[in-house]
Amino acid sequence: MANTSKCLHCLLDFSDSNVSEEIAYKCYGCHGFVHMTCAGLSPEEVECLALKSTFLKYFCNTCNANLELIKKLRGEIDTLKRQIGEQDNCSIFDEVHP
Ligand SMILES: [Zn+2]
Ligand SMILES: [Zn+2]
């Protein structure tokens, strides 16, 4: 796990300091760590998140970008599926009622 002990954002090594979940988030995507401050969260936001920390899923910028890409792709696939489905329905409709 030596290669995951650096903050994904500022690249500072965590191994020298006492890293806990309180000051670092683990990325759900790549399992890398990032400082709370590097994640762009304010102390207030961190406090709110801590209240439901068991459900907290943090994604680093890289993984987040990938997720957005996948989300976008899925949306496009859904649209295509719908278009194909509509075409199929139309052709069936035409056959039954020429
Ligand atoms: Zn950092
Ligand atoms: Zn990540």
CA of residue 60 to ligand 2 center, whole Å? 4
**In the predicted model, is pLDDT for residue 89 greater than 80?**
no
| pTM of the model as a whole | 0.52
Per-residue DSSP letter, 17: S
Decide if 22 contacts 43 (C-beta within 8 A): no
Q: How much is the pLDDT for 1?
A: 43
- 4, 50, 61, 67, 98 from 22: Cα distances, Å: 17, 8, 19, 25, 67
CA of residue 29 to ligand 1 center, whole Å? 17
**In the predicted model, is pLDDT for residue 54 greater than 70?**
no
CA of residue 81 to ligand 2 center, whole Å? 30
Structure tokens at 85: 């489905």
Question: Which tens digit of pLDDT belongs to each residue from 61-73?
Answer: 888 888 889 899 9
CA of residue 55 to ligand 1 center, whole Å? 22
Question: Which tens digit of pLDDT belongs to each residue from 10-30?
Answer: 888 876 655 554 567 788 889
